[in-house]
């Protein structure tokens, strides 16, 4: 007798989406019930599609669970209009913890929002004609694009293409508007809601999140190869002629699960700018149709590319698009990172790059960045741009306004020149504890101490003023893209981190695991001999990540494992 294996069981999330394709769940009714301080576990999953994560203050768990919410704004390309910035600043003060957190995908996050403030905050965001829809969830997330106004109009053209893609990939459900703007539970008595299926995503949306980014060589400030789909701008004679499409990148993994891993995207081929939206849709629908819906740890598009191959993917894309890709055009990335201080932009105005430690816009006793930025945006109506490295740009500044803006910043303890050391300017950290429910170890709160250790060691080993890219995450999901850093620290447990080495300056190479468990107080002894050898054995102006890849990691691979005792 011939028997066939039973089909694999779909994940719980797939059942939830199928049962409520409007993404409304019971959110509106729970929001209106003032006796409840949290949403149900089912609605927790739907909230993500609305740009909201439910969690609790983990510093207070020993007493009781104090439920709170993280709200994430959707800001394509990191562009923030003056009126939006002022709204976000006000809402952060009124309903969150009086800080704004710049994300590694060029958005703003609010932390510490309690349920009573969630409705007013969301209504305030939408009343300002901003949004949080699809900032989280099994959909296309915030589309990234270069934020730095350069000496060319190409940046603005790429930003415009990023916005077109962002708008085209938004889910179409009315639930978001009805819950957060009208303040009502979505009614299924309406036939349109009862039979709703999203025209792009289908009834059950994507198997997992989907990430899109644009980059302009030679600057890879976006870390474009870490995205599900990327568009590498090809510029000839200062004109944008098209994009090399890449697909299949992603950072997340799970400790101890070899079936999960970070992966860089494959280069597929060249398309002209008019094909960008349909190409993005085609990549997304391949994820929709072929992604793993039985295992969320294996559900990202990168696993489809890894297992089926780039050639299969290109063929599938061409069938969906109805045209063939041209061969990829030549390009070269040489660096990543942001510009700081005052610079002239392409239209004759100026922009100011500001370092924001770990992306946290806040006030302290000696450093009132949040207050200073509000005064500047109120007075000069400057556009704010958020960078993928969690820093901030004030753009479109007239020449006459440079001096008064510099003065306001100085009055609030914010320098324009010599804003931070070279190591700090190249660092990133995810928030992790106490706000993230996935955090296994500290990240943002200990980053300054970790950087102190690294900077002191660099001075001690004769490497003062050497740039080393350091990134830290509290878990292996990779929100700060630690797998691309020259030194990556990935949380495994309280004060225990994987030490990863070997990323490069252009952010085109994954680093590799060097040591499994390192405590912060052990970093001195772990890194001192590595920096010492680097100082003695480097070739020319070789960077630390390149030295690790060329020497240290090669030696580690060639060293036989110790025999069992």
Cα distance between residue 275 and residue 243, in whole Å: 9
Residues in the chain: 565
Query: For this structure, is 430 an active site residue?
Result: yes
Tokens representing residue 272 in the block: 């002209």
Annotated catalytic residue, options 48, 228, 281, 475: 475
**CB-CB contact of 464 with 535 (8 Å):** no
Q: Is position 61 annotated as part of the catalytic site?
A: no
CA 546, 357, 346, 143 dihedral sign is positive
Task: Find, among 495, 497, 474, 473, the residue nearest to 485 by Cα.
Answer: 473
Catalytic choice (141, 281, 300, 492): 141
Residue 190 CA to residue 186 CA, distance in Å, equals: 9
Please say if 424 is a catalytic residue. no
239 CB-contact burial (10 Å; exposed 0-12 / middle 13-18 / buried 19+): exposed
> Which one of the listed residues 48, 105, 209, 302 is annotated catalytic?
209
Q: Does the fold of domain 341-420 match that of domain 8-136?
A: yes
3-state secondary structure 411-434: HCCCCCCCCCCHHHHCCEECCCCC
d(CA 406, CA 410): 6
Does residue 211 have an active-site annotation? yes
320 in active site: no
Which residue in 288, 430, 471, 481 is the catalytic one? 430
475 is catalytic: yes
Q: Could you state, in order of their start, the residue ranges of all structural domains in the chain?
A: 8-136, 149-182+206-336, 341-420, 424-558
Nearest one of 95, 150, 122, 117 to 37, comparing CA atoms: 117
Question: Is 436 marked active-site?
Answer: yes
479 an active-site residue?
A: yes
Q: Which of 48, 211, 425, 481 is catalytic?
A: 211
pLDDT of residue 560: 55
SS (H, E, C) 99-122: CEEECCCCCEEEEEECHHHHHHHH
Q: Are residues 515 and 501 in contact, defined by beta-carbon separation less than 8 angstroms? A: no
The rounded average pLDDT for each run of 10 residues, N- to C-terminus, in the chain (565 residues) is 66 97 96 96 98 96 94 98 98 98 98 98 96 98 95 92 98 96 86 92 98 98 98 97 98 96 98 98 98 98 98 98 98 97 95 98 97 98 98 98 98 97 98 96 98 98 97 97 98 98 98 97 98 98 98 82 41
Find out if CATH 3.40.640.10 is the number for domain 8-136.
Answer: no
Q: Please tell me which residue in 115, 479, 492, 548 is annotated as part of the active site.
A: 479
Are the C-beta atoms of residues 104 and 138 closer than 8 Å to each other? Answer: no
Catalytic residue among 72, 101, 105, 471: 72
CB 98 within 8 A of CB 104: no
Active-site residue, from 436, 492, 543, 548: 436
**By CB neighbour count within 10 A (0-12 exposed, 13-18 middle, 19+ buried), where does 443 fall?**
buried
**Which CATH number is 424-558 given?**
3.30.413.10
Q: What's the Rg (C-alpha) of the chain?
A: 24
Superfamily holding 341-420: Sulfite Reductase Hemoprotein;Domain 2 (3.90.480.10)
* Cβ 424 vs Cβ 355: under 8 Å: yes
* Residue-level pLDDT at 552: 94
- Token pair, residue 227, equals 């995205």
Which fold is adopted by the domain 149-182+206-336?
Answer: Sulfite Reductase Hemoprotein; domain 1 (3.30.413)
Contacts of residue 563, Cβ cutoff 8 Å, sequence gap at least 6: none
Here the tokens at position 12 are: 């719980």
CA–CA–CA angle 470, 218, 325 (5° rounding): 115
């Amino acid at each position: 007798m011939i028997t066939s294996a039973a089909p694999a069981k779909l994940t719980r999330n797939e059942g939830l989406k199928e049962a409520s394709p409007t993404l409304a769940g019971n959110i509106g009714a729970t929001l209106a019930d003032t006796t409840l301080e949290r949403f149900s576990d089912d609605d927790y999953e739907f909230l993500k599609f609305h740009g909201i994560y439910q969690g609790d203050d983990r510093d207070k768990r020993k007493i009781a669970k104090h439920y709170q919410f993280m709200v994430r704004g959707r800001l394509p390309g990191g562009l923030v209009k003056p009126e939006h910035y002022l709204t976000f600043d006000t809402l952060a003060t009124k309903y969150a913890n009086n800080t704004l957190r710049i994300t590694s995908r060029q958005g703003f996050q609010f932390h510490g929002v309690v349920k009573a403030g969630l409705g007013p905050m969301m209504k305030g965001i939408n009343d300002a004609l901003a949004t949080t829809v699809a900032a989280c969830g099994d959909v296309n997330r915030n589309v990234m694009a270069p934020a730095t106004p350069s000496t060319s109009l190409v940046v603005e053209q790429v930003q415009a293409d990023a916005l077109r893609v962002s708008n085209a990939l938004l889910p179409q459900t009315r639930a978001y508007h009805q819950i957060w703007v009208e303040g009502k539970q979505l009614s299924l008595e309406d036939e349109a809601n009862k039979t709703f299926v999203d025209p792009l995503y289908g009834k059950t949306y994507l198997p997992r999140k989907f990430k899109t980014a644009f980059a302009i060589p030679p600057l890879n400030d976006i870390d474009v190869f870490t995205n599900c789909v990327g568009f590498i701008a090809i510029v000839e004679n200062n004109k944008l002629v098209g994009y090399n499409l890449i697909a299949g990148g992603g950072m997340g993994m799970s400790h101890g699960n070899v079936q999960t891993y970070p992966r860089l995207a494959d280069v597929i081929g060249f398309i002209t700018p008019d094909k960008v939206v349909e190409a993005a849709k085609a990549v997304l629908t391949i994820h929709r149709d072929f992604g793993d819906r039985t295992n969320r740890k294996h559900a990202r598009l990168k696993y489809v590319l890894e297992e089926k191959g780039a050639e299969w993917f290109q063929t599938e894309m061409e069938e969906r698009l109805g045209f063939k890709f041209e061969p990829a055009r030549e390009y070269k990335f040489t660096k990543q990172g942001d510009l700081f201080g005052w610079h002239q932009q392409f239209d004759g105005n100026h922009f100011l790059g500001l370092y924001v430690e770990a992306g946290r816009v806040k006030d302290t006793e000696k450093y009132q960045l949040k207050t200073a930025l509000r005064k500047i945006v109120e007075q000069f109506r400057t556009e704010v741009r958020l960078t993928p490295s969690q820093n901030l740009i004030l753009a479109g500044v007239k020449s006459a306004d440079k001096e008064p803006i510099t003065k306001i910043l100085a009055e609030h303890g914010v320098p324009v020149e010599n804003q931070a050391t070279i190591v700090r300017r190249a660092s990133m950290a995810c928030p992790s504890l106490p706000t993230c429910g996935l955090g296994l170890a500290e990240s943002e709160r200990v980053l300054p101490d970790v950087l102190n250790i690294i900077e002191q060691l660099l001075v001690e080993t004769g490497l003062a003023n050497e740039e080393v890219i350091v990134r830290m995450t509290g878990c292996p999901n990779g929100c700060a893209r630690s797998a691309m850093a020259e030194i990556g620290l990935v949380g495994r447990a309280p004060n225990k981190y994987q030490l990863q080495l070997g990323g490069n300056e252009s952010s085109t190479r994954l680093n590799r695991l060097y040591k499994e468990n390192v405590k912060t107080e052990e970093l001195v002894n772990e890194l001192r001999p590595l920096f010492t050898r680097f100082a003695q054995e480097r070739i020319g102006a070789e960077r630390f990540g390149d030295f690790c890849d060329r020497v240290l990691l090669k030696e580690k691979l060639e060293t036989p494992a110790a025999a069992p005792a």
